[in-house]
Amino acid sequence: MLRLEKRPDPSKTWGYLAPVLAVIATMIGGGVMFALLGKDPFEAIRTIFYDPLFSEFAWYYRPQLLIKGAPLILIAIGLSMGFRAGIWNIGAEGQYIIGAICGAGAALAVYPLESALVFPVMILCGAIGGFAWSMIPAILKIKFGTNEILVSLMLVYVAEQLLASMSLGLMKNPEGFGFPGSRNLQQYASAHNAELWTGTGIHLGVVFALIAVIFSYIMLARHQMGFHIRLTGESPKAAKFAGVNPNKVVIYCLGFSGALAGLAGMFEVAGPSGQISIDFNVGYGFTAIIVAFLGRLDPFGILLAGLLMALTYIGGEIAQSSLGLPSAAIQAFQGMLLFFLLALDMLTNFKIKRTNTEVRI
Amino acid sequence: MDLSAISPTLLVASLMVAATPILLAAIGELVVEKSGVLNLGVEGMMITGAISGFAAAVLTGSPMIGFLCAALGGAALSVIFAIITQYFLSNQVATGLALTLFGLGLSAMLGQSYVGIKPPASVKLDLPLVSDIPVIGPILFSHDFTVYAALTLVTGVWWFLKYTRGGLILRAVGESHDAAHALGYKVVRVRILAIMFGGACAGLGGAALSLVRVPQWTEGMTAGAGWIALAIVVFASWKPARVLLGAYLFGGVAVLQLNLQAAGVSIPVEYLSMSPYLITIVVLVVMSANRSKSALNAPAALGRVFHASR
């Protein structure tokens, strides 16, 4: 019989190995799933993981990697702080939407004013919007002890309705011939989150994502707040004795992730997406949860995980057009990845031992 | 705007139908949580049940087989959760989220060819004379059978938890898995069975949505119903009878806002559609505000990982 024995300290080796093995296991599991759908599994996996990087059209896909990766990384960095402290913000999708609405709203309010100040103000509004939206679950948790998981999630649906209302009403393009959706910010020079270098896919959001990675690394490794967050997650009792203010940690974790998600939404609406529309959000806020775990809640791990997840998005789109793979398949594929990761994570914390070698069957 | 068009009798009758999917999912989750497991994957299991039930009903032409397959589909998905949390000892919050994400993707994938199809009509109670009694007839005697099935299930769960040995063991496992283990109860086995029951109930709830309430298949059609079911369990402070109250309350809000939309109230449609979610938040706040009362009822081992060291 096999028996699990808790390791005194989590294994470092398995910490690195588990995500890699999870990706491999997902490729196998996903291959089986694609085969069941009647597609060639090897071709599907190659299309998803290889083609975006090395096929003949890779010059088009590689910049996409950064465009899709940036919001995922931004949001996941924020979420990872809370997850470390045991504070579960799963409403990043809502904060992302509100950030986009606030950012675009600031631009649309001053349209057609051309000024260098417009974009900084939009950035500020996007971050504040996301922050404010995340303060709802934060304050309710502090004041009344309300479960932040359920509240933040409910607010996603509220934000989606608000988005619909905005794109059909208040923010609708007056020159849009009655179509839903706001003015296209890509055509508004001061508000356009353009590529910094053409053809690279690097827009200001990518830069912000990198800054967020470095910032959160320093925060966790060097700053007292980072220490408090880790302590709260690992032992709430010890944190209490050490004088950590749990309310402060809640505000910080939710606020930080909300602001980053808001920023991600704002950069998306001002750049790659261009306008507020009913289907503006595509689930980055939920996928970022997978990114955060796949990156082991570690800033640099999240950077890699975000790029990998962006790869599956792009590869999924290619497979959709070239192989006719349903778009939802990639969502199931990403969910599967999280399953494998969580299962393999056991090996980081436990050793597998044989209980009794003599009566082995 | 014409509010007089809203008939109270029809309102009550339709709120019972509207509440049934949430009621089924919530009563299943209540049993899961009573065993000390927090499964946040209700939304994923519900939507998987919705499509597997829908597909089976369309393929066989029998809504009954549809409901059976929905329960099986939900339970099958919950087995993934059960294995990963009980054998691989993973974090239940994260695994539940993964289950929801996976279920949403899987259901959308399975449901591609079922968009826009009408399912076979479900069985409706229609007693001569009795169903025609004004007010009482439409409210009590002319519903789809799922409404009665859900009510029976709630009663059954209440009775099981309160009066049977099995219910006692289940609650013991949920209160203190170490003590239950020391007494010789199979903690993992009890929990896996509870999780599967929860999955089957969520699947049935999904089918009640796709076969009775809507009845149609659209991607992501549960639209947060699974999460509302989770909130109802908290609202009910883990008591079956209050789950019924909670579900009917939310059903009432959902139906009322639809009626207000139809009556042409001057509030924009989007803001009315927000109301069920906003009310969920308000209710959660009210429930958690008097913490001393409700928290006492929460299973003590809820969400904690059980690892038998011996």
Kindly state the average pLDDT of the residues B272-288. Answer: 85
In sequence order, which residues have a C-beta less than 8 Å from that of residue A139 and are 6 or more positions away?
A: none
A332–B280 CB contact, under 8 Å: no
Using a CB–CB cutoff of 8 Å, tell me whether B103 touches chain A. Answer: yes
Q: Tell me if A329 and B112 make a contact (CB, 8 A cut-off).
A: no
Residue B180 has pLDDT above 80, yes or no: yes
Is residue A144, in this structure, part of any structural domain at all?
Answer: yes
Residues of chain A under the 70 pLDDT cut: 1, 355-361
**CATH dotted code for B3-297:** 1.10.3470
The band of B136, judged by pLDDT with boundaries at 50, 70 and 90, is low
Structurally, how many domains does chain A consist of?
A: 1
User: Which residues make Cβ contacts (< 8 Å) with residue B149, sequence separation at least 6?
Assistant: B204
Residues of A whose CB is below 8 A from B48: none
Of the partner residues B104, B230, B274, the one whose CB lies closest to the CB of residue A150: B230
pLDDT band of residue B292 (cuts 50, 70, 90) is: low
**Cβ contact A335–B219 (<8 Å):** no
Residue B120 pLDDT greater than 80, yes or no: no
Residue B253 has pLDDT above 70, yes or no: yes
User: Per-residue confidence at B269, pLDDT binned at 50, 70, 90?
Assistant: confident
Cβ within 8 Å, pair A162-B307: no
Token output for B83: 């294995």
Q: How far apart are the first and last CA of chain B?
A: 68
Is B120 touching A (CB cutoff 8 A)? no
Chain B, 143-172: which have a CB under 8 Å from a chain A CB? none
Least confident of A180-184, A230-234, B63-67, B140-144: B140-144
Residues of B in contact with A44 (CB under 8 A): none
State residue A97's pLDDT score.
94
Of B84, B91, B101, the CB nearest to A286: B101
| 3-state secondary structure at position B124 | strand
- Does residue A270 belong to any structural domain of this protein? yes
Q: Roughly what angle, to the nearest 10 degrees, separates helices B8-34 and B165-175?
A: 70
Range of the domain at A85: 38-325
**How many angstroms separate the CA atoms of B298 and B287, rounded?**
12
Q: Is residue A9 part of a domain?
A: no
Dist CA B175 CA A89 (whole Å): 27
DSSP state of B144: B
* pLDDT at A265 (0 to 100): 93
> B291 at the A interface (CB within 8 A)?
yes
Q: Which of A1, A250, A286, A339 to mutate to test the interface with B (most CBs of B within 10 A)?
A: A339
Is A25 within the bounds of a domain?
A: no
Contacting residues of B for A286, CB less than 8 Å apart? 101
A137, part of any domain: yes
pLDDT digits (tens, 9 = 90+) for B10-52: 777 788 888 889 999 999 999 999 998 989 889 999 999 999 9
Residue A120 lies in a domain: yes
Question: Which of A4, A145, A343 is the closest to B307 by Cβ?
Answer: A4
Residues A270-306 have pLDDT tens digits of: 888 888 888 887 888 888 998 998 888 889 999 999 9
Kindly state the average pLDDT of the residues B277-294: 79
Judged against a pLDDT cut of 90, whether residue B75 lies above it is answered with yes
Contact B84 A342 (CB under 8 A): yes
In chain B, where the domains are located: 3-297
By Cβ distance, the residue of A153, A168, A338 closest to B101 is A338
- The count of C-alpha atoms lying within 13 angstroms of the C-alpha of B212, restricted to the half-sphere facing its C-beta, is 30
Scanning A111-173, the segments in alpha helix (DSSP H) are 118-144, 148-168
Examine residue A340 and state whether it is found in any structural domain, yes or no: no
d(CA B9, CA A85): 49
Q: Measured between CA atoms, how close is B227 to chain A, in angstroms?
A: 7
The residue of chain A nearest to residue B98, with distances taken between CA atoms, is A335
Q: Is A343 within 8 Å of B88 when comparing Cβ atoms?
A: yes
* Nearest chain A residue to B80, by CA: A339
